[in-house]
C-alpha cells in the first residue's frame, strides 16, 4: 500500500505566522493557486482512495487538486489542537506562562486546552493502519499531522528543537507531497516534502 500525504495549501494565517490548529481557516488565493499546481502534478495519478481532514483548508486543497473526486473526511487527519495557543503568533505565545515548559516536550505534553504531538500521531496512525493493502491512497492533511505520523511510523526522534515550537527538524512546505509505502506491515519513506510542481519552471507549458 502506497500512502501519499499532501499538506494543504497556504492560508492567510500561515502567511501571518498564526497557529491554526483546529481553527477552520480557508485557503488564501495563493493557497488555491498552489492546489491548482498540485492538480497539474497529479493529473495522471491513480488513487483508489481519497481522504481529507475535515477542516476546510484541507478539503479545498483536495477539491482543487483532484477535481471530480469527493474525498472521504476523517477528523483523525486534523492538525494539532493547539488549545490556548491557537490563533496567536509564536512571539505572542512565548509570553504564555506555560509555553516554555510545553515547548521543551511538546511530543508528550499538551498545550493548555490542546493535545500533545504524540496524541496527534496516534490518531493519524490509527487511521493509516486501517487502510487496505495493495491500494494507492492519498490524504490531504496538515503539517503537524504529517510530521507526527511519520515520526511514529518510522521511529524518528522527537527531541525538542531550540527556537521551534514543534519537535521536528525536517521542514514540510505547503502543498508538498510526502509518500510512504507499507510492505508486510512495515513502513518506509519514498518521498519527503516534494514541491517540484511549485517551482517556477514546473509545468510552464501547461
Q: Each residue of 80-139: pLDDT tens digit?
A: 999 999 999 999 999 999 999 999 999 999 999 999 999 999 999 999 999 999 999 999
Domain-located, residue 204: no
CATH code (residue 177): 3.40.50.1240
Mean pLDDT (the chain) is: 93
Domain annotation covers residue 160: yes
Q: What is the pLDDT of residues 185-194, one digit of tens each?
A: 999 999 999 9
Our measurement of the distance from residue 71's CA atom to the centroid of its chain's CA atoms, rounded to an integer in Å, reads: 16
Q: How confident is the model at residue 165 (pLDDT cuts 50, 70, 90)?
A: confident
Any domain includes 22: yes
Contact (Cβ atoms closer than 8 angstroms) between residue 175 and residue 8: yes
Q: Are the C-beta atoms of 26 and 33 separated by less than 8 Å?
A: no
If one compares 199 and 135, the residue with the highest pLDDT of the two is 135
Residue reference for cell 496527534: 120
Q: How confident is the model at residue 161 (pLDDT cuts 50, 70, 90)?
A: confident
Closest CA to 21 of 119, 123, 145, 118: 145
Quick check: is 206 in a domain?
no
31-62 pLDDT tens trace: 999 999 999 999 999 999 999 999 999 999 99
Number of domains composing the chain: 1
pLDDT exceeds 80 at position 173: yes
Q: What is the pTM of this model?
A: 0.94
- 120 or 202, higher pLDDT: 120
Q: What residues act catalytically?
A: 8, 79
93 lies in which domain range? 2-198
pLDDT computed for residue 155 by the predictor: 93
Q: With bands split at pLDDT 50, 70 and 90, how would you rate the model's confidence at 205?
A: very low
Q: Is residue 47 part of a domain?
A: yes
Report d(CA 127, CA 137) in Å as an integer.
12
Percent of the chain past pLDDT 70, that is, above it, reads 97
Tell me whether residue 205 is in a domain.
no
203: pLDDT confidence band, cut at 50, 70 and 90? very low
Is 201's pLDDT higher than 60? Answer: no
* Average pLDDT estimate for 14-20: 95
In the prediction, which pLDDT does 166 show?
81
Amino acid at each position: 500500500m502506497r500512502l501519499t500525504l499532501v499538506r494543504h495549501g497556504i492560508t492567510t494565517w500561515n502567511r501571518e505566522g498564526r497557529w491554526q490548529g483546529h481553527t477552520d481557516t480557508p485557503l488564501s488565493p495563493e493557497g488555491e493557486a498552489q492546489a491548482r499546481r498540485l492538480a497539474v502534478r497529479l493529473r495522471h495519478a491513480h488513487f483508489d482512495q481519497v481522504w481529507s481532514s475535515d477542516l476546510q483548508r484541507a478539503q479545498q486543497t483536495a477539491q482543487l487538486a483532484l477535481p471530480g473526486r469527493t474525498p472521504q473526511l476523517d477528523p483523525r487527519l486534523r492538525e494539532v489542537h493547539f488549545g490556548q495557543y491557537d490563533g496567536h503568533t509564536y512571539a505572542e505565545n512565548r509570553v504564555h506562562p506555560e509555553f516554555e515548559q510545553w515547548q521543551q516536550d511538546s511530543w508528550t505534553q499538551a498545550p493548555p486546552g490542546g493535545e500533545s504531538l504524540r496524541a496527534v500521531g496516534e490518531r493519524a496512525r490509527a487511521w493509516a493502519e486501517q487502510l487496505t493493502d495493495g491500494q494507492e491512497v492519498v490524504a490531504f492533511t496538515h503539517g503537524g499531522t504529517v510530521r507526527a505520523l511519520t515520526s511514529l511510523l518510522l521511529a524518528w526522534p522527537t527531541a525538542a528543537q531550540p527556537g521551534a515550537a514543534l519537535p521536528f527538524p525536517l521542514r514540510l512546505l505547503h502543498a508538498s507531497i510526502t509518500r510512504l509505502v507499507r510492505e508486510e506491515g512495515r513502513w518506509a519513506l519514498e518521498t519527503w516534502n516534494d514541491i517540484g510542481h511549485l517551482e517556477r519552471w514546473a509545468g510552464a507549458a501547461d
